[in-house]
Amino acid sequence: MNRLSLLLYLFCFSTLVGCYDRIELEQQSYVIAIGIDKTDEEGLVDVTFQIANPEVGSTPGGGGEGEEPKETVTLTGTDIISATTTANAFVSKELKLDHTKAIVISEELARSGEFLRVIQAATRTNQIRRGVQIIVTKEPAQEFLNNNKPKMETRPHKYYQLMLNRASEIGIIPDADVHRFFQITEGDADLFLAPYATTEIEEQKKGTTEDDYIAGNVPQQGGSSSQFMGSAVLKEGTMIDVLNGAETRIALTLDNTIELTDIYSTYKDPIKPKYRVAGSFGKKRNTEVNIDYKKNGTTKIDILVPFELEIFSVPSLVDYSRNEKNKEILRKSIEDELEENAKVLIKKSQEEYGSEPFYWSLYVRDNFKTVKEYEQADWNKKIFPTAEINIEYHLIKLEFGKAIDDTKLNEVRD
Amino acid sequence: MKKTRLKSRELFAIVVVVVGFKLADTTPAQYAQEGQNAFWLMPIISFLVIFPSFLLLMYLLKKYKDKNLIQLMMIILGRPLGTITGLVVFFIAYGLLIFDARNYADQTKLLYFPESPTPVILVIFLIVTFFGAKRGFQAIGTSTFVTLPYLKLSVFMLAVLIIQKVVWLRIFPIFGEGLGTILWEGAKRGATFSDLFIITIAYTAFKNGKTFSKGIYFGALFALFEIVFFFLLYTTLYDYNSIDKTAFPFHDITQYVNFGEFFTNVETFFMVFWLGAAFLRFIILVYLASWILGEVLYMDEFEPFILPLTFFIFPFSLLVENTILNELVWRNSLFIIATPIFILLPLILWVTAKAKGDLKKQ
């Protein structure tokens, strides 16, 4: 008996080596970004893998000097997962998608509506995580990944992580992971916003404000050639439009499911309209969305956006901080300006899109007891497009930074 | 079975591991097939449906001091009938065990060891279970109690991480598929809490009835709370259209969360605790199943049953073709069959006991 249990124990040890799933680090290569493009043939897509080279940038002067930080390969296949094995025809190691940070799709593919079919694979295997970000590019994704050569963050995983985090924090692109994509697309009521990016810098538009651009026309000199700005609007998995940075930012402030940090932006100077006032916009409280649902009739939607603003630059040198009257004028003007912009976007979504990118369908749901009733009421076809929407921005706190007053320019020049 | 030195707290730990673990297997997926975004309400219904019967059983056990589940049945129903009902209880307990074994082996394979064959994972799993169960009830109880805080801490951590990503408004429309569906489908799955009945086989191992009832009631309530809370998190994270498409919501969320920017891909951390809990749960259930069989067959020693019972899980659980079939068809059917049995059993016992006049004596 003792001998038998000894044998059993020994057998247990033999299982500990884990022969089946044992794989050395050396034998795998990590895909950081996946690009998907349309091909001429239906059912086939071009898949581009951007593979990180872990030897670069990890240890100072370590092995692999002179090697590229990443390798980008493209092949044709039916889906992402099976393409990883086909890729082994010319990539020496097993491709692992566990560390993928971004899925890049071309505008062409997004507009064709094929994207949903391709991304389905992400839910069935556990290789692609729900936290992977979706990016829509103006040019083919293959081109984007090949041209994207960051100057400072040469290690690709850090690049995508930092680039996407920062840009979505300040609201010029949305935070758009696979999880959110499925929740919104399967929910079939709202619009999904995905970051819009490009490496094709075309003619540079002279915008009026700092974020009135979409990727590709942000005036830029020097630096990396890829721009992330604005968002692609996806309705039921198909791309229908592009929002610029400013519109994206409005959409994000109206959406309570997204977290924003303080946003630096400029506003009209009400007293000297030639100049603009710069400040940081903070959304500290949730936007209040009140929906008065009427089954037969016009639904009323009241929106109240409480926000804080910290002014840090008044180039016109008008005294807004101490003069109460001026302060009121400024307050009113900023609120009006924001409301104006939001109204334009809301109108556009009601008339053009027939649905909204603010995830407001959440607020109508408590009017229904069952999913069936809710689906029959049809938020994006019947309720929202005909609703009467009032929006109000409310500035709850206006601050002026740490300086009490600006330098008196005329006195200095005297 | 002689008394052990186990107290209420060990029983509490056993109940929480055995019942509460259902938040992390495929039980939520089963519920979500019917209830959509209101599926978090369904375990409450299941609990309410089965709990009165359980209270009745506890009452009977108290009346007939020092008898466990099977001994109680033997005394009240007489030997032939008692043996038959005892076997029914055993087969249900063992059947659930078989489906669960396959379920856990498949989850481990799909999520962490994609290249390993299911039988190999299952064999390793069962070997560990066998050695664990052989240590006896005292050791099982103590080790469950000792590990419980760590298991719960990991689950709590996951809840904290995921709570930032949930959208609470997704619980509306509040009744999902409709109130009728929630009530009916919830009631059908009362067997989710059938393990409570199975644990009463250990009634005699504790110092007295009070110790036992204290442990099992608190454990049951805690497990219920835990299950409902996690189901609520799943609902608000996935929304009604996606929740029924996810087979392993617990593992899906462990893959989704990160500890900040630097520590990404942390699911293996949670997997360790999950696996630990799965082993414990299995060890307990195999031990209790052997105990039931031992009592039914009037054996003085039931521990020799542990080896064959653990061994036969292997061929039986491999009979089913794939996880989806295992889960949504077979396990589900067994749940639906087992529910009325567990609801009726204490009633039959009580009515018979009343008719025989046994209850008046004390």
Higher local confidence (pLDDT), A353 or A210: A353
Q: What class, spelled out in words, does domain A262-414 have in CATH?
A: alpha beta
In this prediction, residue B228 has a pLDDT band, given cuts at 50, 70 and 90, of very high
Å from B8 to nearest chain A CA?
33
- Which residues on chain A are in Cβ contact (under 8 Å) with B255? 126, 129-131
The SS3 of residue A347 is helix
Which pTM was predicted?
0.88
Residue contact B256–A373, C-beta within 8 A: no
8 A C-beta contact, residue A383 and residue A364: yes
Q: Which ranges of A255-390 would DSSP assign to H, the alpha helix?
A: 324-348, 361-364, 371-377
* A14 — pLDDT class (breaks 50, 70, 90): low
Q: ipTM greater than 0.85, yes or no? A: no
Cα–Cα–Cα angle for B265, B124, B253, rounded to 5 degrees: 25
| CA separation for the pair B350, B73 (Å, rounded) | 10
Average pLDDT, chain A: 82
> Which token pair is B114?
């994609």
| CA distances, A51 to each of A44, A399, B154, B179 (Å) | 22, 47, 33, 51
Instruction: Return the structure tokens found at A323.
Output: 């003069």
What does the pLDDT average to over A323-349?
89
Given a cut of 90, whether residue B14 has pLDDT beyond it is yes
Cβ-nearest to A371 among B111, B176, B255? B176
**Of B175, B240, B256, Cβ closest to residue A369:** B175
Report d(CA A341, CA A252) in Å as an integer. 13
Q: Is the CB of A130 less than 8 angstroms away from the CB of B252?
A: yes
- The fold for domain B8-344 equals Amino acid/polyamine transporter I (1.20.1740)
The most confident of A129-143, A356-370, B40-54, B321-335, by mean pLDDT: B40-54
Query: Which residues, in sequence order, are bridge partners of residue B128?
Result: none
- Alpha helix (H) residue ranges in chain B: 8-20, 27-35, 42-63, 69-77, 79-111, 118-134, 137-163, 179-188, 195-199, 209-238, 240-243, 249-256, 267-296, 306-317, 323-324, 332-356
Looking at residue A407, what is its pLDDT? Answer: 67
Closest chain A C-alpha to B155 CA, distance in angstroms: 19
CA distance B132 to B124: 12
Amino acid at A314: V
- CA–CA dist A65, A68 (Å, integer): 8
Residue A15 with chain B: CB contacts under 8 Å: 120, 123-124, 127
When CB atoms are compared, the residue of A129, A188, A369 closest to B173 is A369
> Which of these ranges, A108-122, A153-167, A229-243, B304-318, has the smallest mean pLDDT?
A153-167
Check residue A208 and give its pLDDT. 58
The answer, yes or no, to whether residue A24 has pLDDT greater than 70, is yes
- Within 8 A by CB and 6+ apart from B346, the residues are B53, B54, B56, B57, B60
Cα distance between residue B192 and residue B214, in whole Å: 21
What is the enclosing helix (H) or strand (E) of A80? helix A80-86
pLDDT above 60: residue B281: yes
Residue A385's pLDDT band, with cuts at 50, 70 and 90, is: confident
Predicted confidence band at A204 (pLDDT cuts at 50, 70, 90)?
Answer: low
pLDDT greater than 80 at residue A105? yes
Closest residue in B to A132 (Cα) is B256
**pLDDT for residue B1:** 55
Q: E strands, A108-149, where?
A: 133-137
Q: Where are the domains of chain A?
A: 28-244, 262-414
The partner residue sitting opposite A371, judged by closest CB among B115, B240, B251, is: B240
User: Two tokens at B241?
Assistant: 């259209």
| Token couple for B140 | 């099982």
Domain boundaries of chain B, sorted by first residue: 8-344
What is the overall mean pLDDT for chain B? 88
Residue A205, pLDDT score: 62
Put simply, the answer to whether B252 touches A20 (Cβ < 8 Å) is no
pLDDT per residue over B79-105, tens digit each?
889 999 999 999 999 988 888 888 888
Residues 6+ apart with CB under 8 A from A335: A392, A393, A394, A395
Q: What is the mean pLDDT of residues A120-149?
A: 83
| B-chain residues near A11 (CB < 8 A) | 127
Confidence band (pLDDT; 50, 70, 90) for A323?
Answer: confident
pLDDT of B222: 95
- Name A195's bridge partners: A231
Interface of A with B (CB under 8 A): 8, 11-12, 15, 18, 20-21, 98-99, 123, 126, 129-131, 161, 165, 179, 182-183, 186-188, 257, 362-363, 365-366, 368-374
Q: Which of A6-10, B96-100, B165-169, B241-245 has the lowest mean pLDDT?
A: A6-10
Question: Residue B70 in contact with residue B295, Cβ under 8 Å?
Answer: yes
